[in-house]
Amino acid sequence: MRVSVEEVFETVRMTIEQNFDIRTVTLGVNLKDCMDRKPAQFNKRIYTRLSQMGKKLNSCADELEHKYGIPITNRRLSVTPVALLIEPLPRKIPTAVSVARTLDRAAKAANIDFIGGFGALVHKGTTSADELLINSIPQALSQTERLCGFLNLASSNAGMNMTAIEHVGHIIKALAKRSKNGIGCAKLAVFANVPEDNPFMAGSHHGIGEADFALNIGISGPGVVRDVVANNPKCDLTALSEVIKRTVFKITRAGELIGRELAEMMEVNFGIVDISLASTPKRGDSVAEIIEAMGVSQMGRAGSTAALAMLMDAVKKGGAMASGNVGGLSGTFIPVSEDAGMIKAVRTGALSLEKLEALTSVCSVGLDMFAIPGDTPADVISAIIADELAIGVVNNKTTSVRVIPVPRKKAGQIVHFGGLLGSAPVMKISKTASAKFINRKGRIPAQIRTLRN
């Protein structure tokens, strides 16, 4: 891939003036060959491999960051879904928690920001190892700092595992009670159609269809896109779509350049470039502000869904033109806690939970990082999850939920998480939902693929 001098200067300008960065480099690591019937031996093997590879990732990323002057903000590891790895181990919660602590220690030893993969694929059924892992989540994620978990509870091919969805509502409540301000729930994402190569946390894991190692890149540029939209206030939406598409094309090329060189330095496979627009609490780094720059009076008001759909289409077209290795989620995140524009929209009443759900029908990756009152019943949480995952199943797309029931907080209050997680207004929510429906459990069958009118 040839890169011109003009592109280099343009990328430098985006870095300095518009918050462009490589949001994450995530090394996926296969741990299936570390499996053992003895927990001590298994933990020793995975610690050695992950700490060594994590240190190598950090060292090579530092070298590239210095070489090109483009920040590589987060360095992460993802592993084979842990529910598969603990199949030979004793069926005891302390066993699963010990694996969680080992993963966390390895990430800390390598100075890795987060490690993902403490999860299970249970979209159709649940094994005893899956059940063990799910039941261990409240302890595992509350007793670790860098470990993230995921559960795939539905898919377009298999339908929705409502028995697991009902149970997960209780798991999320238990996790919230075990962690300050419910912050442990920020490290757990539940999915429909989870991708195997997602570099973003909390849902990242190393899929069973991957090689031993795969380096996946998550780029981000909401500040860059917001500026080009703001600088084109008079063009029609067709022309504006082209402007966004060309901008994402340039961002994606820069991301693939970094990713391929980093993979070569580490002597691992290059995986994918995830072109998702990921917000941060930093000024100007907001997806909501892109929508408002298009002319919508405030995120959440009428016109927001159409504007977001257009943004997503332009982002995907630009990325697909720039690289044949686009993957992961490749949409946009609209987290309530990590995006200043989203926070403002909720606080002023422009954005409700119902409108947020509608927005997720046209973008990745679902209801992300939103806070609700701590006394919300488990069946209501399960119902929210079921509604969101149904959008993914029916539309054959990835959707997820990362919900934080904040203990002792009520609707309208603000909870401060700190750092990249920002602050979140606790959203108003009905305490009564669909308990009888959720408690039926079972499985909602997959949607029919014909008669799609």
In this prediction, residue 336 carries a pLDDT of 86
In this prediction, residue 5 carries a pLDDT of 43
In this prediction, residue 65 carries a pLDDT of 84
Question: Mean pLDDT over residues 206-228, rounded?
Answer: 89
| Domains of the chain, first to last | 29-192 (3.20.70.20), 218-441 (3.20.70.20)
DSSP string across 122-156: -SS---HHHHHHHHHHHHHHHS-SSEEEEEEEEET
Could you tell me how many helices (H) and strands (E) the chain has, helices first?
14, 13
**3-state SS class at 297:** coil
Q: What pLDDT band is residue 330 in, cutting at 50, 70 and 90?
A: confident
282-291: per-residue pLDDT in tens?
776 788 999 9
412-442: per-residue pLDDT in tens?
888 887 766 677 889 999 888 889 999 999 9
In this prediction, residue 453 carries a pLDDT of 59
Question: Mean pLDDT over residues 138-166, rounded?
Answer: 96
**3-state SS class at 328:** coil
Are the C-beta atoms of residues 186 and 243 closer than 8 Å to each other? no
User: Is the predicted pLDDT of residue 6 greater than 80, yes or no?
Assistant: no
58-112: per-residue pLDDT in tens?
999 999 888 877 788 889 999 999 999 999 999 999 999 999 999 999 999 999 9
Q: What pLDDT band is residue 16 in, cutting at 50, 70 and 90?
A: very low
343-369: per-residue pLDDT in tens?
889 989 999 999 999 999 988 778 988
**3-state SS class at 421:** helix
15-29, 168-182, 241-255: range with highest mean pLDDT: 168-182
Q: What pLDDT band is residue 451 in, cutting at 50, 70 and 90?
A: low
Question: Mean pLDDT over residues 207-231, rounded?
Answer: 89
